[in-house]
Chains A and B, each alone.
Chain A
């Protein structure tokens, strides 16, 4: 079950079908699509997202997966999504991912605020020991954000992505609970 998380400028509310059109519009922007989608970029439609075999349906079907809509607290506008999927319950390890679909909201700290909320929820409420993410080597803004949040580079999937005639790496970055606890206090 996904609960609502409240930040200073952002509400994270459980994602519902009502948010699908806004998400589809965001993912139809191929520039954004190619920052988050490791496969072939195709303009997304609402039907693609609602497809029972699609990634959204498959992801939402897993009980331990959390998917939030990011909403501007002042305007209630949908600006993107954030997910926390438990990848290994025994190891208490989960994958975190964020996607700000509203371009005007990027580079202004909304991603950082959202990530901090979800990371804290994962460690403090779900008692996770590890959170990790995958990021494309050419997504420099995202890599900078994750480094600032304390994620460590753990693995390089060499030439796992193909874009514009060039093969790029996909990076795995991970954060252990003990590291987050030290990092979180240092940041206060």
Chain B
């Protein structure tokens, strides 16, 4: 506690994204899978990276502990200090996060940071209804709070967007103070 483990998971660690990450991230993010994404797919240039990623507070590059290779970005967006909540932001390809066993680790690390350091009490996220991470979120205690009907259009048809949310006092790891 109060050591250097703040942004460190089991197999990943979180650091500031740097310009050198742009190429690797572009490659990662081009592999979206069939789900589509709620984030812009436009991370194809260093200038986009410098304009949209680098200046953001609470935006971290996620690197593998084994070889320091960046696998994606995660962070906290739209922080509402009064109500103490934020949007969880995740920019990963389907393969780099949801199929490689890193999801639980990344979620746990960023959640710990959000609750224990930033002192938030709620995280939320909109995901397509076909998102491959729904069971990972559910295992981590996230609840489906609603369904925005036909809010997405992909591959010729409408999909719903799910709102999922995590409240600190529902998570036994963090419930000790509100």
- A interface residues, Cβ below 8 angstroms from B: 38-40, 87-88, 90-93, 129-130, 132, 152-162, 167, 172, 174, 176
Contacts and interface: CB of A to CB of B under 8 A. Distances in A.
A170 to B, nearest CB: 9
Given A91-B151, A91-B153, A129-B158, A155 B146 contact: yes
6 contacts: A91-B158, A129-B150, A155-B145, A156-B146, A157-B146, A174-B148
A159 B121 contact: yes
A39 B84 CA distance: 10
Contacts, number: 74
A167 B147 contact: no
A155 B80 contact: no
A88 B152 contact: yes
B26 to A, nearest CB: 22
B165 A157 contact: yes
A154 B82 contact: no
A38 B80 contact: yes
Nearest to B165: A158
Contacts of B84: 162
A161 B121 CA distance: 12
Given A39-B82, A40-B82, 20 more contacts: A40-B81, A88-B151, A90-B153, A91-B150, A92-B153, A132-B151, A154-B147, A155-B148, A155-B163, A157-B124, A157-B145, A157-B163, A158-B122, A158-B145, A159-B167, A162-B83, A167-B83, A172-B148, A174-B151, A176-B150
A156 B146 CA distance: 6
Contact of A154 (B85, B146, B158, B165): B146
A157 B78 CA distance: 14
A157 B148 CA distance: 12
Contacts of B150: 91, 93, 129-130, 176
A132 B149 CA distance: 10
Contact of B151 (A93, A152, A167): A93
Contacts of A152: 149
A157 B124 CA distance: 8
B54 to A, nearest CB: 19
Given A38-B80, A129-B158, A160 B149 contact: no
Contacts of A91: 150-153, 158
Q: Which of B124, B153, B154 has the most CB of A within 10 A?
A: B153
A28 to B, nearest CB: 19
Q: Which of B85, B147, B152, B167 has the most CB of A within 10 A?
A: B85
A176 B146 contact: no
Nearest to A169: B145
Contacts of A159: 83, 85, 121-122, 167
